[in-house]
Amino acid sequence: MSRKLILLVEDNPDDEFLTRDALRTGGIMHDVVVVRDGAEALEWIFSTDSAKAPDLVLLDLKLPKMSGFDVLERIRSDARTRSLPVVILTSSSEHQDIQRSYATGANSYVRKPVNFAEFVRAVQALGVYWLSVNEPLHQTAH
């Protein structure tokens, strides 16, 4: 299987470390690029270098400069990225955040478990599904 690119949009270094560790522990050995805010995420996603196009975006909601909701709206409003898999990966369990995420076009909503073993299982399941099982609408050249 070819290596794919995961864009992790996460401003908290501890959550970044846990997510990377959970991916590794879960056997998800794809490339991970981390950006720290919403503006940087959009810059990465919409850069003209198609070799950098992510195969999956793991998006936190509470970000500096631009919220995860704003990032998701921008991704879904552009024909080039409308079908890009975006998984909300957040600590929020607020019903309104869940509802708004799906209404804005999130493919999945995963609350970061406080238990590391649960988190590893959740991130592993995400990686397996979105990077191995799911058939994307279009393939990007890598």
Global pTM value: 0.91
pLDDT (average), residues 55-81 = 96
CA atoms within 13 A on the CB side of 2: 7
15-47 pLDDT tens trace? 899 899 988 888 888 999 999 999 999 999 998
Q: Alpha helix locations (H) across 3-132?
A: 13-25, 38-45, 68-77, 95-104, 116-128
Extents of the domains making up the chain: 5-130
Distance CA(55)–CA(7), nearest Å, equals: 8
- Answer yes or no: is pLDDT of 108 > 60: yes
CATH architecture for the domain at 5-130: 3-Layer(aba) Sandwich (3.40)
pLDDT (average), residues 136-141 = 57
Is-contact 97 77, C-beta < 8 A? no
113-128 pLDDT tens trace? 778 888 888 888 888 8
- Answer yes or no: is pLDDT of 3 > 70: yes
